[in-house]
Structure 1
Amino acid sequence: MDQNIVKIMSGNAPTPIGPFSHAVKVGNLVFITGQMPTDPKTNEMILGTFAEQTRLVLENLKIILDEVGSDPDHVIQSRVFITNMGHFEEVNQVYRSFFGRDLPARTCIGVTGLAGGADVEIDMIAWIPENQSK
């Protein structure tokens, strides 16, 4: 295994529902696996409104960002997967509040289904500032 590639499993984020790491760090970049609306304390999928699911997904991503020494200001790119594009604005409102004014590059993809019956999943690529790298 290349020592420059670090696979990360967070003890604070929800347990993955599949065979993957929460994130993979390469240099000062971190590739965060798509997070689901799962309560990190109970590992229970919370299937509320699209806004509620988006909020929980972003909270789970923040747990991993914090653990690797990054934050929403250093997110470079994200992909948002939603099961119903009719809720696009509802998802966007919560998403925008997570980042504030300066938004990362993003792709939003309408899908026919997500694992566990979720309606929202988001993955990210983020920069880890030099003074924060763990």
Structure 2
Amino acid sequence: MIEKMMCQGAPQPIAPFSHACRVDNLVFITGQMPTVPETNEMLLGTFTEQTHRVMQNLALVLDEVGSHFDYVVQARVFITNMGHFEEVNAIYRSYFNEPLPTRTCIGVTGLAGGADVEVDMIAWIPPRA
């Protein structure tokens, strides 16, 4: 069974999608943008500021579905300027413990809403105690 999920507290989608889709104990999380959940406005600050907001939005979704950054299996990072690769990596890295999940980073010519950073994830949902 596939469970399509909208998460309370996460930014509202700017396109037609669910925040996450759960299949058994895996959750596929839609790419999060640097959208401020309280206002649903795009944070168009520095790459550092945008990456923090993206990771905070992912944390909101992970928490609601019963997972955590420790259980992320795979992530994809999309950035509009590869000149900021190391800056984005430093912020991204700060949200994880060792060992790190698998990851792909893709340089793109543009992202929705004028954002410069987007990250999507696949995570494991551990059984509840």
Establish whether TM, by shorter chain, passes 0.5.
yes
| Pairwise CA distance, 1:53 | 0.3
The match for 2:68 is 71
| Pairwise CA distance, 1:123 | 0.1
Amino acid at match of 1:6: E
Q: Give structure 1 regions of 4+ aligned residues with deviation exceeding 3 angstroms.
A: none
Amino acid at match of 1:12: G
Of 109, 112, 134, which aligns to 2:109? 112
Of 100, 103, 109, which aligns to 2:100? 103
Equivalent-residue separation in structure 2 for 1:46 and 1:130 (angstroms): 35
Residue correspondences, number: 129
The match for 2:81 is 84
TM-score (norm. length: structure 1): 0.94
Amino acid at match of 2:37: P
| Pairwise CA distance, 1:101 | 2.5
| Pairwise CA distance, 1:100 | 2.9
| Pairwise CA distance, 1:13 | 0.1
More strand by share: 2
TM-score (norm. length: structure 2): 0.98
1:53 and 2:50 equivalent?
yes
RMSD of the alignment, in Å?
0.8
Equivalent-residue separation in structure 2 for 1:102 and 1:22 (angstroms): 26
1:42 and 2:39 equivalent?
yes
Of 96, 119, 124, which aligns to 1:122? 119
Q: Secondary structure at the match of 1:98?
A: coil
What 5-or-longer segments of structure 1 have no aligned partner?
none
